[in-house]
């Protein structure tokens, strides 16, 4: 997850990532995604475990969330960061 400016700017070496886990716990801070979203199997993006990663370590593009799933991710991030 990243703003386009950050993701495409070579002068910025890192991005914030929310890991995806195969276990779905039903947390208000996770977003369930799967084949309909372009992922190979159902998993949960957990916004409680944000991490900074070097872009050079991210070697493969998987998918991009849009529409309702992107809004769901926004809500989960706000909840995890207590911005709601």
Contacts of residue 9, defined as CB under 8 A and 6 or more positions apart, other chains included, come to none
Q: Is the pLDDT of residue 1 over 80?
A: no
pLDDT, tens only, 13-58: 999 999 999 999 999 999 999 999 989 999 999 999 999 999 999 8
Q: What is the mean pLDDT of residues 74-82?
A: 95
pLDDT surpassing 70 at residue 63? yes
For residue 51, give Cα distances in angstroms to 18, 40, 41, 54: 7, 22, 22, 10
Is residue 25 within 8 Å of 44, Cβ to Cβ? yes
User: Please, what are the domains in the chain?
Assistant: 4-80 (2.30.30.110)
Check residues 80 and 58 and name the one with the higher pLDDT: 80
Q: What are phi and psi of 76, to 5 degrees?
A: -65, -40
| pLDDT score recorded for residue 70 | 92
Q: For residues 46 and 27, is the Cβ–Cβ distance under 8 A?
A: yes
């Amino acid at each position: 997850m990243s703003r386009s400016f950050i993701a495409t700017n070579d002068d910025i070496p890192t991005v914030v990532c929310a890991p995806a886990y195969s276990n779905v716990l039903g947390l208000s801070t996770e977003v369930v995604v799967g084949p309909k979203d372009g992922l190979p199997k159902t998993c949960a993006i957990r916004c409680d475990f944000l991490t900074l990663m070097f872009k050079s370590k991210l070697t493969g593009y998987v998918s991009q969330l849009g529409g309702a799933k992107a809004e769901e991710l926004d809500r989960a991030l706000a909840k995890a960061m207590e911005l709601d």
